Amino acid sequence: MASVDTIRVAVHGAAGRVGLEVVRAVSDAPDMELVGAFDRLPPKEAPPLPKGVPYYTDSHRGLRSCRADVVVDFSVASASLAMAPLVLGAGARPVIGTTGISDDQLAYLDGLCHEHHLGGFYAPNFTVGAVLLVKLAAMAAPFFDYVEVVEEHHETKIDAPSGTALAIAKAVHDAHPDQFQHTMPEKEPLPGTRGGEYEGIGIHSSRMPGRMAHHQVTFGAPGQTLILRHDTINRECYMPGVLLAVRKVRGLEGLTVGLDKLLEI
């Protein structure tokens, strides 16, 4: 039987690869109770859930029934944005890990949280190592004038560049407000070879089987390079960050963005 301090958690996007990991992690957490799973797949096609956990395709009905304190969302951006007002309207706090959400959309989510006087949390990456990569890249940025970001993911990732790659680029730019040097070739037989560009920061994306998530930041200066790299081996690495956010979100105001805020780094 759950204690009065047990956090009631539902998972949106529960049939996805990260969603399934969240289901397992929440089920195993001693201070949490998995009270519902949401996805668009018909129940017969959905992966099996722990015994007694209800599965919903109707978000309105499911939120009324499961009475969650926190809803963890690893679906897709459009579904997360549609789910958020329902979650907050039901008195639950959203913890969102879906990528591809813009700054304007984050402002919208923050407004919803304030409107309902409930905290919410969003992170483009819940891996502690990736958060440290962003911080280390920002530390290095003032000392270099050239930088390139390379990210590689599995072939089914729907957005490019990744939210983490954009977070790296923004952190690096904030720490080095002047435009980075981004040279272009005199000839470009294949257009677009130099990749995307954000404030002089080159960003390159790769999508193929055999990769899960890889981010590398390379700084260049005369006679030297500095390379910072993080590899995600499996989706289990997200779970400590997700569980930390579930435990902390009830003490937040508005929408808090970034796992570094919870880690206090």
Quick: pLDDT tens for 252-264: 999 999 999 999 8
pLDDT tens by residue, 182-210: 998 889 899 899 999 999 999 999 999 99
pTM given for the model: 0.81
Look at the alpha carbons of 92, 97, 99, 105 in this order and tell me if their dihedral is positive or negative: positive
What is the model's pLDDT at position 85?
97
Marked catalytic residue, from 44, 117, 154, 157: 157
What is the model's pLDDT at position 133?
96
pLDDT tens by residue, 12-68: 999 998 999 999 999 999 999 999 999 999 999 988 999 999 999 999 999 999 999
pLDDT tens by residue, 108-121: 999 999 999 999 99
What is the model's pLDDT at position 1?
47
From residue 229, how far is each of 12, 134, 206, 219, 261 by CA, in Å?
A: 31, 10, 15, 12, 21
Residue 107 corresponds to which tokens in the numbers above? 């402002």
* CATH 3.30.360.10, applies to 128-232: yes
Percent of the chain predicted with pLDDT > 90: 82
CATH of 7-122+235-263, picked from 3.40.190.10, 2.60.40.1180, 3.40.50.720, 2.60.15.10, is 3.40.50.720
What is the model's pLDDT at position 209?
94
What is the model's pLDDT at position 265?
80
Percent of the chain predicted with pLDDT > 70: 98
Give the residue from 144, 146, 125, 121 showing the smallest Cα distance to 134: 125
Buried b / exposed e along 216-245 (16+ C-beta atoms within 10 A) = bbbbbeeeeeeebebebeebebbbebbbbb
Residue 54 corresponds to which tokens in the numbers above? 């209800």
Asked if pLDDT for residue 164 goes beyond 80, the answer is: yes
> What DSSP state is assigned to residue 34?
E
Name the pLDDT band for 2 (thresholds 50, 70, 90).
low
How are beta strands 93-96 and 70-73 bridged, if at all?
Answer: parallel
What is the model's pLDDT at position 99?
83
Task: Provide CATH 3.30.360.10 ranges for the chain.
Answer: 128-232
What is the model's pLDDT at position 62?
93
| Whether residue 157 lies in the annotated active site | yes
What is the model's pLDDT at position 171?
95
Residues shown for the chain: 265
Task: Provide CATH 3.40.50.720 ranges for the chain.
Answer: 7-122+235-263
Marked catalytic residue, from 12, 153, 176, 215: 153
Helix segments in 141-257, DSSP class H? 163-175, 239-248
